[in-house]
Structure 1
Amino acid sequence: MTIHYLDVMLMDSVHKLNGERSISAVYHLFKGKKSSQTIQDASLFQLSSYFGCYPGFTRDQLNRSVRKLEEKDYIRKTGDTFSVTDAGQRMLKQYFSEKPLPAYFHGAQYHDKAKMLWMRLSLLVQVLSHYAAGSQQYVPIQRDVSVQSWTKSFLKQHQHKKKLSEDLHHELEKLLARLSDREALIFVYSLTSNERIGRTYQQMAEWMKEDVWYVYLLFWNVLHYFIHSSQKGEAPIMQLVVGDLEFKRVLTTSTHKTLELVQKGFSIDQIAHIRSLKKATIEDHIVELSIHEPSFSIEPYVTTLEQQAIHDVASQLQTNKMKLIKEKLEHPFTYFQIRLALTRMVKANG
């Protein structure tokens, strides 16, 4: 059985989870589940790039990939978790040296915005292409009513469609020139114009004789790069296309509510009472905030000296397993304090 890039991503995730989470953690990670646990795992185990990388991921695909990797002796089951074998680690190293994860691909930062960017941009290109050809008879490539509405509104604001077409063409050319020829091809041939229908990932993979999952990643890497460039002010039209989208970090709605109360000076116990939630739930929110809000201070919950003590033990034991860290620590820290300290340790290490 052929090993695909999806299998390699799964194996890389298993390797980074280091036997500390079940295989379900990978499933939720790939789907981009916005739960405190998945968001924390993505950061703690340095898997943020894979967050939401494949929203359509199914349990069946997960199980098939796991079976394939087990049969090739790349991963091995131990209790409820999996570990990567020596053969698997060698394969991972070789695979990533030949096909590294695309440079701008970052699910946690971009996957929601990239999907909307593609829907808007692909429809805009289709409409402008038909306009340039003098054709008004076509089926919109995007059926989403909100996307169609946005496109109509955008075009009303840009009456000179010929100039808009030229400017967009020039901007896309400039952006794609900074990426590989392969990425540029994948993006361009995914577009639908008055002359042709965009190719699917599978069609592209067969045409390029490339792994379909790698084609998929390269395609989304292009969109992630467009957003990255728009945020840096290097792509004015892309800025307009994504400008109204919220670039909030990956936080659950409930965590936003907790943040508002923290900013008003309420303690964890007070917030739990006000919101009629368990204390542990509010602690989950605080950990999320520690991960995704750079300015959020964890000093009220665990001091700098306490963080250092936890970091030292985690480094000494080479683990994120909180039970082991807690047992080794001389001071009676809570699991909450250990989790907080670990999230900041990961951030400090990049």
Structure 2
Amino acid sequence: MSFDDILLNIISRLDGERYKHAAFHLMKGKRSGQTLQDTEYYGLHPFFGMLPSLHAKDFDLAYRRLLASGLITEKEDGTVFLSEAGKMRAAALEPVRLNGWVYRGMEQLFFARLALTVQTVSHLSAGDRTFMPVSADPSVQRVVRNLFATVVRGMNPKEIAVEIRNGLESTGMEDARLSRFLARLSGKGMSGMTWHQLSELSGLSEMDLKVEYVETLHIWLDVISEQQTPLLVALSQGVRAESPLTGSAKKTDELYRAGMGMEEIAERRNLKMSTIEDHFVEIAINDPAFPLRKFAAQEDIEDVRSEAARLGTRKLSVLKKSFPGLSYFQLRLILARLGKEDGSDGHDNPGKPGQPAETGHRI
């Protein structure tokens, strides 16, 4: 799927309720309360943090292309929605096989380890023990060094190559795509291709190649977690998010579970109350047992649910007009639980090896 199609897919899920920058922050994996809420509200988990290094320039170019093509339109207030042509295009898109919410950019760590392992094996098998490593990250070098002292020890270069090749082939991805992915790796007498070089060779844009590369890593990592092959499992250690909560929200959650109130937590952590509120919304999104009734009356919860369904919106500014007696924090908490309590977790099914993912989201 192209970068433009990814952006169109995201806008189709936001469905006229957000500004364009909501999609930008989502793809970069911004840990703000708003972006995390949007991820849950609109089923945007596949795209979260998929391109942490995305430049505003590249995003704006794609956005302007969608505008110029008539696939999207901006309302007077700046919110974005699909045109009729955009709806037709979105409906024809292939299922998404990204898994951004699970990996959150950490797939790059897996690739760095893989690239250094391949490079090291290539040089050592040629009798060359002195070379410039493709990764200067000390943590990556340390992991690979440990691998060669444990998992890789006793494996010959052919066995390593077979495990990597079989792992990639078992994903069911097409050969041309796998060739482009492997072209990024370096070895003895062979440097990995830059995005520019690969773009010239393949005819694909650099942004489309980056999207393909990330999706390829997500698909492969999902397969690795099922197959449990020794080298690949070792290379992928720690790349999946251990907790759905961000680090700071997790600390707030621990203090709340220990019996502290919001004000006490804010004072203990020396954080603004608005930040603590963001944490509580994040906790409400991810904890099925979150005690929502401690923060809002059951009658208010049901009324907000009904009004959101009647108006067909989850925009706080709209719902606040209907419920002036509720704080924005209470509304955010209630909205955070809507999808969970309706029995939908908002995640796409990442699919099985060799099969496309399925999505139940309207696009």
TM-score range, shorter chain: 0.7 to 0.9
What amino acid is aligned across from residue 110 of structure 2 in structure 1?
A: L
Rounded to whole Å, the distance in 1 between the matches of 2:290 and 2:118 is 41
Alignment of 1:193-212 (within 5 A): 193-212=187-206
Structure 2: 5+ residue runs without aligned partners? 347-363
Counterpart for residue 14 of structure 1: 11
TM score, norm. by length of structure 2: 0.81
* CA displacement, residues 279-308 of structure 1 (integer Å, 9 cap, x when unaligned): 332221111112234554434334666544
Counterpart for residue 58 of structure 1: 55
Rounded to whole Å, the distance in 1 between the matches of 2:99 and 2:69 is 29
Counterpart for residue 255 of structure 1: 249
Q: Is the 8 A contact 2:195 2:206 kept in 1?
A: yes
Counterpart for residue 315 of structure 1: 309
How far off is 1:118 after superposition?
A: 0.4
Q: Is the 8 A contact 2:51 2:105 kept in 1?
A: no
Give 2:331's match in structure 1, choosing from 335, 338, 346: 338
Counterpart for residue 184 of structure 1: 178
Q: Does 1:86 align with 2:90?
A: no
Give 2:229's match in structure 1, choosing from 232, 235, 240: 235
What amino acid is aligned across from residue 188 of structure 1 in structure 2?
A: L
How far off is 1:128 after superposition?
A: 1.1
Q: Is the 8 A contact 1:122 1:191 kept in 2?
A: yes
Provide closer, same or farther for how the CA distance between residues 172 and 159 of structure 1 changes in structure 2, counting only shifts above 3 A.
closer
Secondary structure of the corresponding residue to residue 341 of structure 1: helix
What amino acid is aligned across from residue 128 of structure 2 in structure 1?
A: S
TM score, norm. by length of structure 1: 0.84
Give 1:128's match in structure 2, choosing from 95, 101, 121: 121
How far off is 1:230 after superposition?
A: 4.1
How far off is 1:237 after superposition?
A: 2.3
Counterpart for residue 38 of structure 2: 41
Rounded to whole Å, the distance in 2 between the matches of 1:150 and 1:187 is 22
Counterpart for residue 285 of structure 1: 279
Q: Is the 8 A contact 1:113 1:242 kept in 2?
A: no
What percent identity do the matched residue pairs reach?
A: 27
Provide closer, same or farther for how the CA distance between residues 164 and 305 of structure 1 changes in structure 2, counting only shifts above 3 A.
farther
Rounded to whole Å, the distance in 2 between the matches of 1:120 and 1:140 is 11
Secondary structure of the corresponding residue to residue 292 of structure 2: coil
How far off is 1:205 after superposition?
A: 4.3
Secondary structure of the corresponding residue to residue 73 of structure 1: coil
Q: Which has the higher contact order (CA 8 A, sep 6+)?
A: 2
How far off is 1:115 after superposition?
A: 0.9
Rounded to whole Å, the distance in 2 between the matches of 1:317 and 1:235 is 50
Q: How many residues align?
A: 341
Rounded to whole Å, the distance in 1 between the matches of 2:288 and 2:115 is 34
How far off is 1:154 after superposition?
A: 1.9
* CA displacement, residues 94-113 of structure 1 (integer Å, 9 cap, x when unaligned): 3x14xx43x2x122211332
Instruction: Please tell me the root mean square deviation across aligned C-alpha atoms, in Å.
Output: 2.9
Structure number with the higher helix fraction is 1
Rounded to whole Å, the distance in 1 between the matches of 2:131 and 2:50 is 32
Secondary structure of the corresponding residue to residue 155 of structure 2: helix
How far off is 1:211 after superposition?
A: 4.8
Provide closer, same or farther for how the CA distance between residues 245 and 108 of structure 1 changes in structure 2, counting only shifts above 3 A.
closer
Give 2:64's match in structure 1, choosing from 63, 67, 70: 67
Q: Is the 8 A contact 1:229 1:235 kept in 2?
A: no
Rounded to whole Å, the distance in 1 between the matches of 2:276 and 2:152 is 50
* CA displacement, residues 161-195 of structure 1 (integer Å, 9 cap, x when unaligned): 43475156325414432321244323333222225
How far off is 1:127 after superposition?
A: 0.7
Counterpart for residue 133 of structure 2: 140
Structure 1: 5+ residue runs without aligned partners? none
Secondary structure of the corresponding residue to residue 80 of structure 2: strand
